Chains A and B, each alone.
Chain A
């Protein structure tokens, strides 16, 4: 392990992570702006709005993560759960 991140791989240096975030935001903006030039064929009315794919993708993921979190409250167990149970018999 490296104590000083500057000696570690380029990918994990704080400077490069900041750069990668900026690139990500730029690419995201580009994909939405591309819709000004390229017509996205909507099939069901709403899906040809500008940025529909972006909003829909983001909100779907948010919803799925929250649903997973919520179900996790009831369904998550320690990962030795079955090992302990199996010793019962």
Chain B
């Protein structure tokens, strides 16, 4: 097979058809298109499959490999379950944007060259912004605008890097590189912005919780994980990523601990989990890259699940603040159980997908002898249980009785959550079935008695810490300042200050100028010898009587005649 249409085109077509289609036809498109995409993804063999010419460059829209198929698979799966979750509740343009967004992610997964990658990258930026706007509130509109600016900026930086690579190497191939010069740094920074790396991690927790209950499910999956894939393809073993990853892990925990909004807690924990993957890519061994890919796969499922359970709560109650919620387990048993399964998975509890994928990363740190990294990852695992594993379900479904008695999830949302819950447990119980799809062959044993005991101790004592420290974690009606304060407040203040300074300076200059002119005028009048009392104006500015003018003309004419007759 030589020519192969990009699997992403199926979802793009679906996105275009969702609008005009009505009723059952629309539902059929929403549910069948991701499955057709999934089928197409598994028809893509290894190597460059399709080539085309674009602006004199030989581009490769479809290149297959185990890693690329793995990411494309989870993106298509996410589109299917996300579509199922939202097709009866979300507006059609949100669904269409969600599918176009997923198509972008799948397009990036199979992109064989930097130009194709960039085009699909921007497609994602465009339609994810629309999803944020679909939140419909003034906050969502403002957050969407900030989100768009951030991602367009990231896109430009990425483009600068790509153009530099094209000019300096003449090649648009996607191949491993290290951040050694300006071009590669620009590409790395462009990708890291999408990965919500510091110092701009704030865009994620700003935008995602502003979207609709269904929109945040789509948003949680694609942007950061395509960035992870791009990092695996382009920067495996770039050691700076280890420390960027560790920073993201700790940032996510600290901010989530301080946060009051349930969906924002989950947003911070995306940064935290992507930190694990970024750190693994920095380690860069086969074990580590397997870990990053596997963890991204598992993460999309359990994070989608967590956002779904939070989404049901928002959909049913219209509230997302921990201070307003609590006690919902009474009337939402299914949502509670699914939320808890997602929470246990993100905490890498044994028998869940988080355990079988995150321990790959810890093992990679052990194999490379990275003592500090290993212990920080272990501490972070405890911290994840603290901020997401217990905090999220506790404050939303238990803690106090908020008096709310909402109905449980609508059937389609319930089925979507059950599918993802089942996958979390399936991947946790049968890891070998999943490991065979990883980019590198591995004989890693997820379950050894010692490892299970170690993680049970680590996690259960974190649980103890949570309940003993509950008084310290009382929820308050607060937000936590982040670097986005710099452009949301500081820049405004700076602009205010600058405009005030400029107007002050302008006034001073104007006053000085008036004074100087007055002085000059006085000098002029003194030297021209005019009495200010008779006429303030200068000699040539005065109005002259018409008679004087006539006299002057008569004199000139007489002079002319005289000269004429004489000569």
- A residues touching B (Cβ–Cβ < 8 Å)? 1-2, 8-9, 11-12, 24, 27-28, 31-32, 34-35, 38-41, 43-44, 47, 51-58, 60-65, 67-69, 71-72, 74-79, 81-83, 85-86, 88-89
Contacts and interface: CB of A to CB of B under 8 A. Distances in A.
Given A27-B460, A86-B142, A76 B476 contact: yes
Contacts of A69: 472
Contacts of A83: 139
B254 A67 contact: yes
B457 A44 contact: no
Contacts of A77: 478-481
A65 B478 contact: no
A1 B465 contact: no
Given A1-B401, A64-B257, A56 B481 contact: no
Interface of B: 139, 142, 250, 253-254, 257-258, 260-261, 321, 327, 329-330, 366, 371, 374-375, 378-379, 382-383, 386, 398, 401, 403, 448-451, 453-467, 469, 472-473, 476-482, 488-489, 492, 496
Nearest to B379: A60
Contacts of B379: 56, 60, 63-64
A89 B374 CA distance: 48
A57 to B, nearest CB: 4
Contact of A62 (B371, B465, B478): B465
A56 B464 CA distance: 12
Nearest to B256: A68
A24 B449 CA distance: 21
Contacts of B448: 41
A37 B449 CA distance: 10
B462 A57 contact: yes
10 contacts: A28-B464, A56-B378, A56-B458, A57-B461, A57-B462, A60-B462, A64-B254, A65-B472, A77-B478, A79-B479
Most buried by B among A32, A60, A88: A60
Most buried by A among B321, B465, B488, B492: B465
Contact of B480 (A32, A72, A86): A72
B461 A85 contact: no
Most buried by B among A44, A57, A78: A57
B386 A78 contact: no
Of all A-B residue pairs in the complex, the 5 with the closest CB atoms, nearest first, are A53-B457, A61-B465, A60-B379, A57-B458, A68-B257
Nearest to A21: B467
Nearest to B469: A65
B384 to A, nearest CB: 10
Contacts of A31: 453, 456-457, 460
Contact of B473 (A9, A65, A74, A78): A65
A24 B263 CA distance: 28
Contacts of A11: 329, 398
A27 B457 CA distance: 10
Contacts of A41: 448, 450-451
A49 to B, nearest CB: 11
A82 B465 contact: no
Nearest to A33: B453
Contacts of B398: 11
B123 to A, nearest CB: 30
A43 B366 contact: yes
A47 B453 CA distance: 12
A43 B481 CA distance: 39
